[in-house]
Amino acid sequence: MRTKIKLKRNLNSLIGFEGSKRMNPKYLIGLLVVGLILVPSLSNAQCAMCRAVLESEASGNAAEGINNGIVYLMSIPYILVAGLFYFIYRRMRS
């Protein structure tokens, strides 16, 4: 039982809780910065692979599908933001 409590206390101090229930803001900011630094480097490898596959295909069907997918994914946030602004506009007028 005592070793379990010690282990829990050591684990909490290691991850930044240090006896309190709230997380240390410095720990969260550091975790966010590390996450944002790692995300582009992980996604960069996939872009090179997609480019190689699309360049090697002669018919161009895959490239057209990828381009349509990009346009579809890009349009959804714009539609949502436009809907939000329209909703705010209607609420302000009434």
pLDDT tens-digit series, residues 51-78:
777 778 778 788 888 888 888 998 999 9
Determine contact, residues 16/23, Cβ cutoff 8 Å: yes
The pTM is what? 0.41
The per-residue pLDDT for range 1-45, each reduced to its tens digit, is 556 555 556 656 655 555 555 667 788 788 888 887 877 766 666
Residue 66's contacts (CB-CB under 8 Å, 6 or more residues apart) are 50, 54
The Cα–Cα gap between 29 and 77 comes to 26
